[in-house]
Structure 1
Amino acid sequence: MTIPHGYKLTDVGVIPEDWDVKCLGEVGEALIGLTYKPTEVREHGTLVLRSSNIQDDALAFDNNVFVEADIPERIMVRPDDVLICVRNGSRDLIGKSALLDKRTNGMTFGAFMAVYRSPIGKFVSYLFQSVILKHQINEHLGATINQITNKSLNSFRVPVPPITEQIAIATVLSDIDALITKLDQLIAKNRLIKQGAMQELLTGKTRLPGFSGVWEVRKFEDVAEIDPENLSANTDSQYSFQYIALEDIDRGKLMSYSEKTFSSAPSRAKRRIRIGDILVSTVRPNLQSHLLFSELGSDWVCSTGFSVVRCKSEFAIPAYLYAHLFAAKINHQIYTLITGSNYPAINSKDVQALTVDFPPIAEQTAIAKILSDMDAEITALEARCNKTRALKQGMMQELLTGKTRLA
Structure 2
Amino acid sequence: MSRENWESRPLGDLASFASGKTPPRSRQAEYFDAGEIPWVKTMDLNNGRISRTSECITSRAVSDTKIRIHPPGTVLIAMYGGFSQIGRTGILCAPAATNQAITAIFPDPDSLDSRYLLHFLNYKVDYWRTVASSSRKDPNITKSDVRGFPVDLPSLNEQKEISEALDDAEERIFSLRQLIAKKQAVKQGIVQQLLSGNMRLPGFAESWASVSLGELGIFLKGRGVRRDDVRPSGIPCIRYGELYTEFANYTAVTRSFVSHEVAATALPIYSGDLLFAGSGETRDEIGMCVAYVGEQEAVAGGDIVVLRGSGFNPVYLATLANSPAVAQQKARAGQGDAVVHISSRALAEITVKIPERVEQDAVAEVLIDADRELGALHRRLGKAHEQKIGMMQELLTGRTRLSVQGEGEA
The separation in 1 between residues aligned to 2:45 and 2:51, in whole angstroms, is 6
Q: Aligned partner of 1:276: which letter?
A: G
Aligned equivalent of 1:80:
73
In structure 2, the partner of 1:27 is 14
On the 8 A contact 2:211/2:351 being kept in 1, the answer is yes
- Equivalent in 238, 241, 248 of residue 246 of structure 1: 241
Distance in structure 1 (CA, Å) of the matches to 2:52 and 2:336:
30
The equivalent residue for 1:355 is 351
1:196 aligns with 2:189: yes
Cα deviation, 1:220-258, whole Å, max 9, x if unaligned, reads: 11113323554499xx9xx98745241574373589845
The count of corresponding residues between Structure 1 and Structure 2 is: 379
Distance in 1 (CA, whole Å) between partners of 2:323 and 2:75 is 40
Distance 2:225 2:4 in 1: 69
Q: Partner residue of 2:33?
A: 43
Letter paired with 1:155: G
Is the counterpart of residue 393 in structure 1 residue 389 in structure 2?
Answer: yes
Distance 1:349 1:300 in 2: 21
Q: 1:286 aligns with which of 284, 294, 299?
A: 284
Secondary structure, counterpart of 1:291 in structure 2: strand
Partner residue, 2:91: 99
Change (3 A) 1:157 1:229: closer
State the identity as a percent.
24
Match of 1:13 in 2: none
Residue 98 of structure 2 is aligned to residue 109 of structure 1: yes
Deviation for aligned residue 1:161: 1.1
List aligned pairs for 1:182-221, cutoff 5 A. Answer: 182-221=175-214
Cα deviations across residues 22-56 of structure 1 (Å, max 9, x unaligned)? Answer: 11111113322214433144333244311221346
After TM superposition, give the deviation of residue 159 of structure 1 in Å: 0.8
- Would you say the 8 A contact 1:85–1:97 is kept in 2? yes
The answer to whether the 8 A contact 1:245-1:302 is kept is yes
| Structure 1 contact 97–125 (Cα < 8 Å) conserved | yes
Query: 1 CA distance for matches of 2:49 and 2:241?
Result: 30
Per the TM alignment, residue 259 of structure 1 is displaced from its structure 2 partner at its CA by 4.8
- Give ranges in structure 1 of 5+ residues lacking alignment: 1-5, 8-15
Q: Which amino acid aligns with 1:244?
A: R
Runs of 5+ in structure 2 lacking a partner?
404-410
Verify the 8 A CA contact 1:24 1:153 in the aligned structure 2. Answer: yes
What secondary structure does 2:131 align onto?
Answer: helix
Map of 2:5 onto structure 1: 18
TM-score (norm: length of structure 1): 0.81
1:162 pairs with one of 155, 162, 167: 155
1:274 corresponds to which letter in structure 2?
Y
Give the direction of change, closer, same or farther, for the CA distance of 1:225–1:81 in structure 2 (3 Å limit): farther
Q: Does 1:368 pair with 2:364?
A: yes
CA distance in 1, matches of 2:40, 2:203: 54
